[in-house]
Amino acid sequence: QKEVEQNSGPLSVPEGAIASLNCTYSDRGSQSFFWYRQYSGKSPELIMFIYSNGDKEDGRFTAQLNKASQYVSLLIRDSQPSDSATYLCAVNAGNNRKLIWGLGTSLAVNP
């Protein structure tokens, strides 16, 4: 059974701080990794993907991938109250176009 694990939270950080969200996966053949943000009552929206070991930066967001440790993370710098949402980690195991989803981490950014 392929699994993706995330801490459910809630993760609470003050405004302006760095929020660190973590995700581990079980399938060593996994090739691409996605972070989605989901506001309450809304649909998931893609914020970042990564497929190479190392860091990938996009504005205030940085995705980090370590395939040896089967670990992917999302850092949010200068956190804003508008970042308060559930963050979903999803993993694609290669030729299979399906995604395996984590349960999500709830983030609360306090003004």
Partner 1 sequence: DAEITQSPRHKITETGRQVTLACHQTWNHNNMFWYRQDLGHGLRLIHYSYGVQDTNKGEVSDGYSVSRSNTEDLPLTLESAASSQTSVYFCASSEVRGGIDEQFFGPGTRLTVL
Residues making contact with partner 1 (CB under 8 A): 32, 34, 42-46, 49, 51, 88, 90, 92, 97-99, 101-104
Nearer to partner 1, 19 or 48 (CB): 48
CA–CA distance, 96 with 90 (Å, rounded to integer) = 13
Nearer to partner 1, 62 or 79 (CB): 62
Minimum Å distance from CB 20 to partner 1? Answer: 20
CB of 18 to partner 1, least distance (A): 25
Q: How far is the CB of 47 from partner 1 (least distance, A)?
A: 11
C-beta of 44 vs 109, nearer to partner 1: 44
Cβ(21)–Cβ(36) under 8 Å? no
For residue 2, the minimal CB distance to partner 1 (Å) is 11
